[in-house]
């Protein structure tokens, strides 16, 4: 048995779902490596985990940059341990009418949510194939399943990410690499959502109990997927509150 650390790499891990997944996998004994464009934004989380005797660090990376993604993964493998889990959680939930959606906005949405997923997933595959095991997790959304009004750019990117995950799962399953796509069909209980609600004149405190998905509940789902036995792997899992219309 190798005495190298087992590592969970979380790319696009912000302060909501990404932070919750970091806490859950740190609790499970993983050295958590958080990759986001501005690593300084995760220093509070790193301090929190370190105070709990967990192993964690944050690195700045642009998921749209092939060179930066490759450098991140190589550094982790060279300096920290074996990458056993990889979460791709990046995406920009942009909403704009079709005529007002410029080509630059459309391209940026695709680069972040789809191209970034490809670059991160491919790099994780290189190392996991060498190790003979691994779990690659992708965060999807309602837009992964249907293109809503005003979401041409975001839905196109998320549709593409879902197709990527399916192709990877079919190719990598026989190599003992579990690829799973998780659809968050819900408002996430987070500060970002609260800000959007306040901008619409809605007080988050008036929302019924359990009408938004808790980030800790979502993180538990990711942990569950990683713990599955290989004779009964789930590829796609959708999460929504009991009151959500679908």
pLDDT tens column, 180-235: 999 999 888 877 777 777 888 888 788 878 888 999 999 999 999 999 999 999 99
pLDDT of residue 110: 94
pLDDT of residue 211: 85
pLDDT of residue 2: 59
pLDDT of residue 203: 83
Which segments in the chain show pLDDT lower than 70?
A: 1-2
pLDDT of residue 167: 98
Contacts of 6 (CB under 8 A, 6+ apart): 29, 30, 31, 81, 82, 84
pLDDT of residue 1: 44
pLDDT of residue 206: 82
């Amino acid at each position: 048995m190798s005495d190298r650390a087992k590592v969970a790499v979380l790319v696009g891990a912000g302060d909501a779902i990404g932070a919750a997944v970091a806490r859950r996998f740190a609790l499970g004994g993983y050295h958590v490596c958080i990759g986001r464009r501005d690593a300084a934004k995760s220093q509070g989380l790193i301090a929190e985990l370190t105070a709990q005797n967990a192993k964690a660090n944050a690195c700045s990376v642009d998921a749209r940059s092939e060179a930066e993604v490759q450098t991140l993964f190589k550094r982790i493998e060279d300096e920290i341990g074996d990458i056993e889990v990889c979460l791709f959680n990046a995406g920009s939930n942009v909403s704009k009418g079709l005529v007002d959606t410029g080509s630059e906005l459309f391209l940026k949405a695709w680069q972040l949510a789809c191209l970034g997923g490809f670059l991160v997933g491919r790099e994780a595959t290189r190392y996991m194939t060498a190790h003979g095991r691994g779990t690659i997790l992708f965060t999807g959304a309602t837009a992964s399943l249907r293109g809503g009004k005003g979401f041409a750019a975001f839905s196109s990117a998320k549709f593409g990410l879902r197709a990527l995950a399916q192709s990877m799962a079919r190719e990598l399953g026989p190599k003992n690499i579990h690829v799973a796509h998780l659809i968050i069909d819900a408002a996430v209980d987070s500060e970002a959502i609260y800000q959007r609600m306040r901008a619409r004149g809605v007080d988050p405190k008036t929302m019924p109990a359990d009408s938004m998905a808790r980030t800790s509940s979502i993180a538990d789902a990711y942990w569950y997927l990683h713990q599955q036995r290989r004779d009964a792997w789930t590829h796609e899992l959708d999460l929504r509150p009991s009151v959500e219309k679908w």
